[in-house]
Amino acid sequence: MKLRISIIITFITIAIFGFKLNNEKRSDPEKEKVLLEIVKYVVERGHYSSIQIDDDLSLKIFDDFINKLDPQKRFFTISDIKELDRFKYKIDDQIKAYDLEFFEEIHDRYRSRIAEAKIFVEKTFENNFDFNDKEYIDLDIDSIPFSTDKNQLYERWRKQIKYSILDIISQKNSSDSIDDNEVMMNAISTVKKNTNDFFNYANEIERDDWFSVFLNSFVGQFDPHTFYFKPDDKEKFDVSISGNFDGIGARLSKADGNVKIVDVIIGGPVWKDKLLDVGDIILAVGQADQEPISIFGMKLDDSIKLIKGPAGTTVTLRIKKLDGQIKDVKIKRDVVELKETFAKSTLISKNSKNYGYISLPKFYADFDNYKNRNSANDVKNEIIKLKNNGIKGLILDLRNNGGGSLQTVVEMTGLFIEKGPIVQVKSVGNRKKILYDRDAQVYWNGPLVLLINEMSASASEIISAALQDYNRAIIIGSEKSFGKGTVQNIVDLNRFISNSDYDMGAIKVTTDIFYRINGESVQLEGVESDIVIPDSYMYVFDGERDEKNPIKWDKIGPATYTKWQSYDDKFKYVTDQMNRKLNQNIIINNIYQRANWIKSQQNINNIPLNLVEYKKYQKDQKLKASQFDKISKYENQLNFELLKTEKTFIQENKELLEERIKWHKNLSKDIFIDQAVNTLDLLDSSIKTNYILAENKTE
């Protein structure tokens, strides 16, 4: 599949875009036209399904771009929309001609509307807020129209600000009247600060950022997973896939013009040398021995660019400590691993039996050094460690795992089966191929459970579907997974130009559909769990079906494969028994009731802005929510233990030990894991019973 997309890229570069961009500084519009031309060509030629660039598409782009710019309808008025209506059926023609008139006009208008709103909001805080008035705020943004005029628009802002202030007051004040002036002033001050931060952030957003939004309103019409990355976003995507980056190992945020350290990443340079603390403010940044330059007021992304750099280089940070002390700190950058991305395991003990648990948040791979770090290899190593602890069954947790590398999921599935097909892939032109596990070695051949939920997507669905079709694993979780049955490839757009100072970014384009080995697609339908455990938000979220422009479901012929013979009809017995028990489980029924209640709350949109009525509304909400306290207080009574190979290392490191204790505490409140262990226990007992019966029959 990689080879095929490379061939397409090469063809496009030679045949179509043989032009060069001069190295001299060019205007943004010129770069944008070139970028639009390249993006248009790539999605038209490289996307799995074709769509017509016509009036219908133009209207969809128009609506989508306006919604992306002003989703809460706080800037544009109806008159703005009417004046922009002349572009409704012209955007398709402008895209074909690489004309930016629509983008230019809406961008300029939007910037001016933000400036106008900022002035009004500042005046709003100069007035008194009357919390005795009987008025309401409508939070159903999707159904309310744009404001008829600026007075109505500003009235929406006033109500939103009042609602935010009221919410803080009601939490701090137990009475039905505002008799504490300090509480009110603090609430107003907090909301004012948050609002100023919002406008400061809006002012930092540059034209390139808005143009990438426009491009995504275009390419997003092909399907919801085709996406343009501006250069900075492409770098962030690479970090999320590989799980590592070169830098100092600290997470940063911005407030009041200052860049603040909000987290220190365990294992990074800052953590190793105890150089910085959470709460420290970075005043200035210098490269190596250069004098640091101030970053106050600088865009956060630009500040991060100065702080990050190649491993082995040095950066000097001028730091203001919490005690007010100012000092320069030299930090040698290094490769920082985001350990929360990586697979990790723990031992679970119950009834004198040990079970293994592996958490896998993402299917990651460092393609620059694939053998060194990828999720398949890491999971294999965790399995080996768990086997050395004498486990009777294994849980692989794929909940909230949105997918990742296709290569790693094929390799990972092969850890649990002998040779055979893993997934079928259909590409542009209905070309089909089957991806196989060709390694006969099985790293875990015992009882296996996979945990999924509505956010388990893509690669998570490939492994779940394959192991389900092989009758190799029991799937436990939400009724079904996300339902993303498409494959994307990243296309570096800089390949299409030469001799340019511009970085064009990249595009993630849907190139293939994947199918289960039984021939069915998971697109829209997802993977259905064998044992269903409800989720509190199961009735308000429907995965891929909730996305715009999803590709339709279909099916192809099955691959040739042999089911895992070890369990025969044991899976059916175990799943029937577990589902019967869950139907009688008090906590499970409580979750179903909470899910129905949350669904009913989606229809409550008019919120009172009168203090007495608002406190009554909140009291009613809390009273109803308290009926589900059993869910939050639930503990599964399982014992979570460190593995033999990691016990000494973790216990000798305070931060790592605290992190692991916190993780184990969260696992102890997880009903999914409890039921997974019960399933493994029942399956193990069923296997032993059959083995004893078979021995007796032989005798």
- Residue 10 inside a domain? The answer is no
Q: Which of 290, 320, 337 is the last residue of a domain?
A: 337
217 lies in the same domain as 363? no
Which candidate, 693, 366, 487, 581, places its Cα nearest to that of 48?
Answer: 487
163 lies in the same domain as 274? no
Tokens of residue 91, six digits:
């955007």
Active site residue 521: no
- Residue 552 inside a domain? The answer is yes
397 lies in the same domain as 469? yes
Distance (Å, rounded) from C-alpha 340 to C-alpha 656?
12
- Residue 642 inside a domain? The answer is yes
The predicted structure's pLDDT at residue 188: 92
Provide the domain count of the chain: 3
The predicted structure's pLDDT at residue 685: 81
204 lies in the same domain as 267? no
Q: Which of 337, 361, 396 is the last residue of a domain?
A: 337
The predicted structure's pLDDT at residue 267: 86
Catalytic site residue from 64, 469, 535, 670: 469
Distance (Å, rounded) from C-alpha 645 to C-alpha 640?
15
409 lies in the same domain as 518? yes
CA atoms within 13 A of residue 341's CA, in its CB half-sphere: 23
396 lies in the same domain as 332? no
- CA torsion sign for 412, 417, 419, 422 is negative
Distance (Å, rounded) from C-alpha 144 to C-alpha 74?
11
Catalytic site residue from 60, 484, 570, 615: 484
Distance (Å, rounded) from C-alpha 140 to C-alpha 604?
8
Q: pLDDT below 50 — which residues of the chain?
A: 1-27, 691-699
Which DSSP string do the residues of 118-155 spell out, in sequence order?
HHHHHHHTTS---TTS--EEE--TTTSPPBSSHHHHHH
Distances (CA, A) of 359 to 262, 362, 418, 635: 25, 9, 23, 19
Say which amino acid occupies 632: S
- Residue 8 inside a domain? The answer is no
Distance (Å, rounded) from C-alpha 367 to C-alpha 346?
27
- Residue 157 inside a domain? The answer is yes
- Residue 227 inside a domain? The answer is no
Burial of 287 (0-12, 13-18, 19+ CB in 10 A): middle
Say which amino acid occupies 41: Y
The predicted structure's pLDDT at residue 174: 60
Say which amino acid occupies 430: N
368 lies in the same domain as 265? no
Q: How far is CA 651 from the centre of its chain?
A: 32
Active site residue 189: no
User: Is residue 539 helix, strand or coil?
Assistant: coil
530 lies in the same domain as 415? yes
332 lies in the same domain as 382? no
Catalytic site residue from 458, 460, 478, 686: 458
The predicted structure's pLDDT at residue 383: 98
204 lies in the same domain as 283? no
The predicted structure's pLDDT at residue 650: 86
- Helices 101-124, 55-69: inter-axial angle, 10-degree rounding: 20
The predicted structure's pLDDT at residue 70: 95
Q: Which residue's structure tokens are 């209905």?
A: 430
374 lies in the same domain as 497? yes
299 lies in the same domain as 348? no
CB 155 within 8 A of CB 609: no
Q: Which of 287, 317, 337 is the last residue of a domain?
A: 337
Active site residue 469: yes
The predicted structure's pLDDT at residue 177: 55
For residue 305, the enclosing domain spans: 244-337
What is the pTM for the complete model shown? 0.88
The predicted structure's pLDDT at residue 443: 97
Say which amino acid occupies 389: N
What letter would DSSP give residue 341?
G
The predicted structure's pLDDT at residue 74: 94
Tokens of residue 254, six digits:
């911005």
